């Protein structure tokens, strides 16, 4: 599919408080990783750094491109010779140094509601999609998978939490990004909405996309093939086996 990701040595401090000291991990195309951690551990900070919202104090974020049969854009890698005649993995750009490229390869869904409440779903989507693309996506693309066509004319302020979350994802995937970063995607949603979103993420992942999410929800972990616990500013790989008690202990730092 489209791309791999390599993240090395990301650091971030707010004033004197070090939130992230050394964040390093990598992900392959079609993988899904969950970042777990207690409140204030720095999950949202890490995701927002990867999304280009916040600036890291150090580290790198490389994306390696692959031949793209699905049409997903990997513009961040173009200058390194990627194309039909050069299909192998190639060296990418450090996106932390060139954050302007991030929107082309990464879709970000923040924890809160990133929508204009006074406007309808259609108006919110039109901010990111041109009219033809939007119609196409609603008919057969990601927006159809998310079921957004069912509430296109509804103002956001009248939508349920699940609708808003799906619409947020719809806005985030406008550029067909190879990476989707979600901050607590299933918080405060009912089971049906959660299942809808998970179904979409599963499809997205199976098509070769990379999903990285911060979550507190054990059910989200069933979707993931990698789990990390963020403690003390460092990511610790962790294997979830369905034991919720063990997960709680891990979050408290009693076992790794």
Partner 1 sequence: MKQTAAYFLAQLKRAARLLPGQILADVVVCFCAGVSACLLIAQGALAAEGTRYRIGIVGDLSDSYLGFGIAAVQEMDDSRFMIELVSMPEQEAEAAFRRGELYAVMRVPEGLMESIVYGENDKLVTYTAAQGQQGLGTMVMGEITDVASTLVTCSQSAIYAMQQVLAGQGRGEEIGRETDKLNLALIQMVLSRGGFGEVEVLGYGDGLSLELYYFCGAVLLFLLLSGLLNSALFVYQNGAFSCFLKARGVGALRQVLGEYLAYLLLVLTGLLTVCLFLGFGFERGLLGIPEWDGMGAAPFLAFLPALFPVTAMFAALQFFLFEVADGIVNGILLQLICGIGMGYLSGYFYPSAFFPEKMRMFGGFLPSGAAVRFAQAGALGKIPMAAWTAVFAWMAVFLALTILVRKYRTR
Give backbone dihedrals phi and psi of 63, rounded to 5 degrees, phi first.
-120, 130
Candidates 21, 38, 119, 144; binder of partner 1 (CB under 8 A) is: 119
Q: State yes or no: residue 77 binds partner 1 (CB under 8 A).
A: no
Residues 49-68 that bind partner 1 (CB under 8 A): 51-55
d(CA 207, CA 195): 18
- Is residue 10 a contact point for partner 1 (CB under 8 A)? no
Q: How close are the terminal C-alpha atoms of the chain, in Å? A: 33
Element holding 50 (H helix, E strand): helix 43-50
Total residues contacting partner 1 (rule CB under 8 A)? Answer: 32
95 touches partner 1 (CB under 8 A): no
Q: Contact with partner 1 (CB under 8 A): which of 24, 70, 87, 127? A: 127
Return phi, psi of residue 163, to 5°: -60, -45
Stretch that binds partner 1, among 104-112, 142-150, 203-211, 216-224 (CB under 8 A): 104-112
> Minimum CB separation from partner 1 for residue 175, in Å?
9
When asked if residue 109 is in the footprint of partner 1 (CB under 8 A), the reply is yes
Q: Which is nearer to partner 1, 67 or 99 (CB)?
A: 99
Q: Which residues pair with 41 in a beta bridge?
A: none
Residue 40 binds partner 1, judged by CB under 8 A: no
Is residue 93 within 8 A of residue 63, CB to CB? The reply is: yes
Provide the 10 A C-beta neighbour count for residue 187: 15
Residue 236 binds to partner 1 (criterion: CB under 8 A): no
Nearer to partner 1 among residue 104 and residue 231 (C-beta): 104
- Which of 61-69, 109-117, 145-153, 218-226 is the region at the interface with partner 1 (rule: CB under 8 A)? 109-117
Choose between 26 and 113: whose C-beta lies nearer to partner 1: 113
Residue from 30, 58, 67, 114 binding partner 1 (CB under 8 A): 114
Pick 1 or 49: Cβ nearer partner 1: 49
Helix, strand, coil content of the chain in percent (nearest 5)? 35, 25, 40
Q: In whole angstroms, how close is the CB of 4 to partner 1 at the nearest point? A: 21
- Alpha carbon distance 209, 31 (integer Å): 7
What backbone phi and psi angles, to 5 degrees, belong to 144? Answer: -70, -40
Q: Which residues in 170-229 contact partner 1 (CB under 8 A)?
A: 171-172, 174
Query: Which residues lie closer than 8 Å to 246 by C-beta, 6 or more apart?
Result: 255
Q: How far is the CB of 12 from partner 1 (least distance, A)?
A: 10
Residue 56: which of 103, 18, 12, 24 has the closest Cα? 12
CA distance 114 to 171: 9
Point out which residues bind partner 1 (CB under 8 A): 48, 51-55, 100, 102-103, 106, 108-119, 123-124, 126-128, 157, 168, 171-172, 174
């Amino acid at each position: 599919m489209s791309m791999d990701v390599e993240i090395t040595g990301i650091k971030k401090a707010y004033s004197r408080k070090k939130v992230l000291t050394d964040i390093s991990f990598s992900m392959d195309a079609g993988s899904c990783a969950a970042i777990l951690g207690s409140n204030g551990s720095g999950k949202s900070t890490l995701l927002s750094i990867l999304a280009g919202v916040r600036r890291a104090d150090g580290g790198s974020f490389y994306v390696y491109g692959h031949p793209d049969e699905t049409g997903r854009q990997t513009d961040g890698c173009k200058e390194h010779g990627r194309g039909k005649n050069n299909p192998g993995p190639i060296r990418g750009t450090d996106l932390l140094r060139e954050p302007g490229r991030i929107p082309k390869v990464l879709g970000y869904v923040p924890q809160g509601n990133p929508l204009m409440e006074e406007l309808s779903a259609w108006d919110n989507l039109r901010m990111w999609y041109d009219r033809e693309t939007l119609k196409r996506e609603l008919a057969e693309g990601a927006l159809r998978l998310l079921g957004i066509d069912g509430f296109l004319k509804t103002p956001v302020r009248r939508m349920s939490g699940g609708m808003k979350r799906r619409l947020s994802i719809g806005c985030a995937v406008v550029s067909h990004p190879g990476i989707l970063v979600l901050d607590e995607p299933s918080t405060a949603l009912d089971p049906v909405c959660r299942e809808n979103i998970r179904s979409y993420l599963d499809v997205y992942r199976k098509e070769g996309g990379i999903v990285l999410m911060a979550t507190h929800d054990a059910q989200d972990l069933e979707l993931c093939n990698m789990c990390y616990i963020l403690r003390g500013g460092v990511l610790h790989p962790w294997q979830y086996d369905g034991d919720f008690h063990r997960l709680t202990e891990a979050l408290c730092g009693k076992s790794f």
